[in-house]
Amino acid sequence: MPDARPAPGAVRVENLHYRYPVFDPSKENEDDAPYALAGIDLNIQAGEFLGITGTTSSGKSTLCLALNGLVPQQTSGSIRGDVWIGDWNTKQVPVPELATRVGIVFQDPEANFVGLTVEDEVAFGCENLGFDPAEIEERVSWTLDLVGMAAYRQRSVALLSGGQKQRVGIAAVLAMLPKVLVLDEPTAELDPVGKHEVTAVIADLRTRERDMTVVMVENEPESLVGFADRIAVMDAGKIVALGDPRAIYRETARLLDLGVPAPQVSEVAGWLNVRLGTRHTFLSIEEATIALAGELKVADSR
């Protein structure tokens, strides 16, 4: 009979509730604390690219931490519900072992740097798990080439630019060959050059590693439109909208009410729809140009 077990890159979140530990002496117990996650149900298919956006403190980063077991294993607090990575429950599998299936890249790559050189940093995770030196060498070479940092292999990480550091952070995670890659606002603290460098790496990954499941938190909607198969919108610890980019950014008025940005061209489409009675949904300038040029031709011919 065929293997009915879920693929290692499939993610299933079931009725997930989570509260951080209480540090406020005015609160008697954890039941007085608000939920960081308040009933998340989510299925992500193996190989899917899911974008997550939402308001500040909506639970986006907490959900990322729950995907690789840091919540609750290293944060304590109270949790109800389950997160499954394939057939692994993140409450039951140790975080180092989960790292072989789920890799996470944070906003600030330096927060997790432990090596002196680029090579040291990328090799650290594999060395920590006792991989064979020859395999480590192969993985380091492959990932540095993948993120365009092979020429900086012996460079001190302290001498890298912000974009270069984030690319090394991605390489260090990819060296573990995870089935799921989690990117928590990977360009949030970068200048425009750094943003371009990291975005280019993500685009390349999207093309070359189609079997890798990617979850990316991002508040710049143009980036999500370019990568995501689906987008989840979070508010107050809940997923309040989930769908393909066109469906999500069709509701620009609702997003603005939530404080969630939409692509500017989508906002233009919403403005036109209200004032002219049209039914446009633009996700790119090119798309808008083609559609509006066609309408102008029709209008001129009348």
In a domain, 286, yes or no: yes
Enter the DSSP assignment of 34. Answer: P
pLDDT of residue 209: 75
In a domain, 299, yes or no: yes
Query: What is the residue whose two structure tokens read 């599998």?
Result: 93
Domain range for 299: 263-302
207-223 pLDDT, tens digit per residue, is 777 789 999 999 999 88
User: What type of residue sits at position 237?
Assistant: G
In a domain, 110, yes or no: no
In a domain, 199, yes or no: no
| Number of domains composing the chain | 1
In a domain, 273, yes or no: yes
Task: Please tell me the distance from the alpha carbon of residue 188 to that of residue 213, in angstroms, as a whole number.
Answer: 21
pLDDT of residue 297: 59
In a domain, 42, yes or no: no
In a domain, 276, yes or no: yes
**Which residue stretches of the chain have pLDDT < 50?**
1-2
In a domain, 159, yes or no: no
165-187 pLDDT, tens digit per residue, is 999 999 999 999 999 999 999 98
Strand order in 37-44's β-sheet?
A: 37-44, 11-19, 78-85, 88-89
pLDDT of residue 98: 93
Cα separations in angstroms, 98 against 35, 37, 115: 24, 21, 21
- Compute the C-alpha angle 16/109/113, nearest 5°: 110
For residues 208 and 146, the answer to whether their CB atoms sit within 8 Å is yes
Enter the DSSP assignment of 117. Answer: B
Question: Which of 73, 75, 78 lies closest to 92 in space, CA to CA?
Answer: 73
